[in-house]
Amino acid sequence: MCASLLLRTAVPSGLHLPRVDVDAVFGKALVRQAVHVERFFLFTWVLGQVALFTTLWIYARRGPRFARESAAGPIGTGMLLGMLGLGIVWLVQLPFTLLDVWWARRYDLTEAGYLEWALGHWFELGGAFVSLCIALLVVMFLARWLGEIWWIPGAFVFVAIGATFAFAQPYLGETTSLKNPELKRSAKEFEQKQGVSGIPIDVEDVSGTTSQANAYAVGFGPSRRVVLWSTMLDGTFSDAEVRVVLAHEIGHHSSKHIPKGIAWFALFALPGAWVLMRITRRRGGMGEAAAIPLALLVVAAIQLALSPAQTWISRRMEAEADWKALQTTRDPAAARGLFVDFSDTSLANPDPPGWAHVLLDSHPTLAQRVAMAAAWKQRNP
């Protein structure tokens, strides 16, 4: 019942997307280069996943002996084992991440140097350590207090934490208000057409980091806003294309995609927590420090297993935002131009391999997005 409500979309049912000749639309040379660039990233991703699960499997087998040697108490030891596991995983993944940075620099997809990347990664790693400590503290406390039924309140605690982060995210980054008066007027017009109001439009300066373009909708309720990367406004994209982006991101808010994403997380969190409880029973349950190395492996496996469902839901939301942008701007030519320019500036493969699309892509392919613009035009000649 809940899932059926969350799956409602503004995209017409049975919408037929015409076939797109990617070589003709995006250019044969660009497509060939994009496939080449993507192939390397997919190769390092696969190797990274093999290394990740091999490392976690070994740690799940050998990690519990560290619990017997610790004098920090069950919860303290569990947190230490969690941080140790995360640190080991980070070191194992480091070569693949560095290869990705090297490859991105080679094709001018990032302007960040290795030192800048390392400093940024340290902050990211620090955030991961803090998040893991909080999660383990909550779960182990509940497991020691409630026993095997910890997974019920535990799942809701994680949903509450996720909702808090989603609400606070707009306040965590450095942005400035959009200055362009014409784009601000367009944003107000799009809000009116989509039945929302009062959504701030901000700009994030990424000019010293990347030449790629992006935009995103964040927050909900009083914290909601739309953020454009500065690379969207440097002249690479036409004003009409930027207006399509604005309408798309406002569409996320008018469709309440962020609260819906939290609701989807809740639906996944309950069975995920139950699976974690059942599997870690063999190590005494989540209240015991010895179970933490196994728990890390289980969580990674759950995340990978749920990836196809999560990316499908995300693609469905992105398709709805695309459709709302077309309905709002009534400019399929600008939408088509935008998606072609995205492929050019990011060297994104407009038609990636099926397995990669299912596992990794949070958006419809660029070819599918061009096809939607064509389908809208056919319906609205």
Domain boundaries, the chain: 2-379
Predicted local confidence at residue 2, as pLDDT: 65
Instruction: Work out the angle between the directed axes of helices 257-280 and 239-254 (0-180°, nearest 10).
Output: 60
CA distance 277 to 271: 10
Predicted local confidence at residue 374, as pLDDT: 96
Predicted local confidence at residue 119, as pLDDT: 64
DSSP per-residue string spanning 39-51: HHHHHHHHHHHHH
Sequence-distant (6+) residues with CB within 8 A of 242 are 183, 228, 232, 233
Predicted local confidence at residue 314, as pLDDT: 97
CA dihedral 149, 155, 157, 161 (to 10 degrees): 160
Look at residues 79, 68, 147 and name the one whose alpha carbon lies nearest to residue 292: 79
Query: Residue 5 burial (CB < 10 Å; 0-12/13-18/19+)?
Result: exposed
Say if residues 377 and 329 touch (Cβ distance below 8 Å). no
pLDDT tens digits, one per residue of 317-356: 999 999 999 999 999 999 999 999 999 999 999 999 999 9
CA distance 167 to 176: 18
Give the 3-state secondary structure of residue 213.
coil
For the full predicted model, state whether its pTM sits above 0.85: yes
Predicted local confidence at residue 70, as pLDDT: 64
Predicted local confidence at residue 69, as pLDDT: 61
Sequence-distant (6+) residues with CB within 8 A of 330 are 380
Q: How many CB atoms lie within 10 A of CB 54?
A: 11
DSSP per-residue string spanning 148-194: GGGHHHHHHHHHHHHHHHHHHGGGTS--EE---HHHHHHHHHHHHHH
Sequence-distant (6+) residues with CB within 8 A of 314 are 362, 363
Sites in the chain below the pLDDT cut of 70? 1-2, 69-71, 116, 118-124
Predicted local confidence at residue 333, as pLDDT: 97
Predicted local confidence at residue 183, as pLDDT: 96
Q: Rounded to 5 degrees, what are φ and ψ at 215?
A: -155, 155
Predicted local confidence at residue 332, as pLDDT: 97
Predicted local confidence at residue 118, as pLDDT: 66
Fill in the amino acid letter for 16.
Answer: H
CA distance 61 to 312: 34
Predicted local confidence at residue 157, as pLDDT: 87
Predicted local confidence at residue 211, as pLDDT: 85
Fill in the amino acid letter for 124.
Answer: E
pLDDT tens digits, one per residue of 174-199: 899 999 999 999 999 999 999 999 99
Say if residues 376 and 26 touch (Cβ distance below 8 Å). no
Q: How far is CA 365 from the centre of its chain?
A: 15
For residue 231, the surrounding DSSP H or E stretch is none
